[in-house]
Amino acid sequence: MILDEEARGIWLDNSHYFKEQLMTLMKPYAHEDLEGYRVSTLVNKANFDHPLAMKPLSE
């Protein structure tokens, strides 16, 4: 789930809300602000730590 800050607070402190209220948070996320990255298989190596392991999909 991807939630904004307000919805995340509601989801995590759900003891104050009814199931129906929580269910309204379960909806598709407007993904215009998400960015995709191609991730190298080198990340499978535990000791690999380099910024080149991820490249934006636009490149």
Query: What's the CA gap between 38 and 52, in Å, rounded?
Result: 10
What is the enclosing helix (H) or strand (E) of 23?
A: helix 19-23
pTM for the predicted model, two decimal places: 0.48
Phi-psi region at 53: left, alpha or beta (left = phi > 0; alpha = psi -120 to 50): alpha
pLDDT tens sequence across 3-15: 889 989 888 988 8
The larger pLDDT score, comparing residue 7 to residue 43, is at: 7
The two tokens of residue 55 are 């490249």
